[in-house]
Amino acid sequence: MPELPDVQYYKSYVDATALHQRIDRTEVRDSDMVQGITARGLARRLKGRKLRSATRHGKYLFLEVADDGWLALHFGMTGRLEYVQDTDRLPDHTRFALYFHNGHCLAFDCQCKLGSIAVIDDPQRFVDDHQLGPDALSDDVDLATFRELMDGRRGSVKAALMKQETIAGIGNVYSDEILFRARIRPTRNVSQLDDRDIRDIYRAMRQVLPVAAERHADPDRMPRSYLMPQRHEGGHCPRCRQGLTKTKVSGRGTYFCKRCQK
């Protein structure tokens, strides 16, 4: 579930909490979520240091370790961060934790273990190595660039939006939200879209993602005009009130309004 807006919120959360706190110790509770380094190696690298900054690309959060590389966090489906004061009460599925000198703790909780933590040298190189497309909110992605990214693709528009190599940050939930706002059916083939459709999708994307991030990516906080609060069995279109249709696109549960999305 953590897509761009969720991870953007985690970035602002880390900015406001764990940044600039000295790390006393680390705890790896689940070693298979830590990639490319042992628990002991990680502990040695982080002990006594501070997190200097946080950046994001797509669904990845990068934490700069003062003078010693970066942590690359991916949240999979269920990953989340929690900064807790009572270190005896970490979240139930804490896989990794940083204990700070101030007595607080940053816990990486991930029920389904689909997330990951890696130590890397440089975020830009990581992005290149993983062949991630430009971040969906990057200044580099203007309408013309977005057209180029979509150009020549086959398959559904939903699959195209979710493909991280094309454009990074959009997953199942927000592809539905963007296409709802653009009034385009997720099943539509990219090759069938005209210039105006692409423009509408671009505008919807640049509208939806920041608003969702501001609202902590919480469905209950979304504007009533958004699909997300209704994105469940029996949900209704916030525009025309008709019952939403649920189907599968690209193997993922997909919600849309038959009347509003053509």
Partner DNA sequence: ACATTGACCTGAGAGC
Partner DNA sequence: TGCTCTCAGGTCAATG
In the complex, which residues of this chain contact DNA (CB under 7 A)?
A: 1-3, 58-59, 74, 76-77, 93, 111-114, 130, 153-156, 159-160, 162-164, 171-173, 250-253
- Residue whose structure tokens are 């090759």: 191
Q: Which is nearer to DNA, 171 or 238 (CB)?
A: 171
Residue 247 CB, shortest distance to DNA, in Å, is: 10
Q: Which is nearer to DNA, 68 or 129 (CB)?
A: 129
Residue 66 CB, shortest distance to DNA, in Å, is: 27
Q: Which of 110, 134, 118 is nearest to 57 (CA)?
A: 134
Q: Which is nearer to DNA, 25 or 130 (CB)?
A: 130
Residue 50 CB, shortest distance to DNA, in Å, is: 27
* Helix-helix angle 195-214:4-16, to 10 degrees: 30
Give the pair of three-digit tokens for residue 244. Answer: 């939403």
Q: Which is nearer to DNA, 92 or 139 (CB)?
A: 92
Residue 249 CB, shortest distance to DNA, in Å, is: 8
CB atoms within 10 A of CB 37: 18
Q: What are residue 200's phi and psi, to 5 degrees? A: -65, -40
What is the b/e burial string over 89-120, where b = at least 16 CB atoms within 10 angstroms of the residue's CB?
A: ebbebbbbbbbbeeebbbbbbbeeeebbbbbb
Give me the helices (H) in 82-218, please: 123-129, 143-150, 157-162, 172-181, 195-214
Q: Which is nearer to DNA, 130 or 206 (CB)?
A: 130
Residue 109 CB, shortest distance to DNA, in Å, is: 11
